Amino acid sequence: MTGTLNLVGYGLAAIGPGLAVGMIFAAYINGVARQPEARSVLQPIAFLGFAMAEALALFGLVLAFVL
C-alpha cells in the first residue's frame, strides 16, 4: 500500500475546524430556538464564523497537497 502521510496529517488537522464548525452551528441553532425572531441577525454572524473556522481546514488541505 502506497500513499502519503500528508493526508493522515490533514485528517488530524481537520478535527479542530470540524469541532469548531459544529460548535458554531450548535450555538446558532440554540439561539434561533430560544428566540426565533433573532434568526436574521444571527445568520450572517454564524456564517462568518463558519467561514473563518473553515479557512483553517482549507489551509490544511492546501498544505497536504503542496508539501
Partner 1 sequence: MYSLRAEPSAEFVPPSSKDFVLPPIFGDNEFTTKPIFLVILSIILVSVFFIASSRKAAIVPSKLQFAGESVYAYVRNDLGKDIIGHDFMRFVPYLFTLFTFILTNNIFGIVPLLQFPTMSRISFAYVLGIITFAVFHYVGIRHHGIFKYVKDILFMPGVPKPVYILLTPIEIATYLIVRPLTLSLRLFANMFAGHLLLLIFILGGEHLLQGSIGLKLVSPFAFSFGIALTFFEFLVQCLQAYIFTLLTALYIAGALADEH
| Interaction of residue 63 with partner 1, rule CB under 8 A | no
Say if residue 9 is exposed, middle or buried (CB neighbours under 10 Å; 0-12, 13-18, 19+). Answer: middle
Smallest distance, partner 1 to C-beta of residue 31, A: 16
Show the site string, 33-52: x = touches partner 1 by CB under 8 A, - = not: -------x--xx--xx--x-
Phi, psi at residue 14, to the nearest 5°? -80, -10
d(CA 44, CA 31) in angstroms, rounded, equals 13
Smallest distance, partner 1 to C-beta of residue 59, A: 8
| Interaction of residue 8 with partner 1, rule CB under 8 A | no
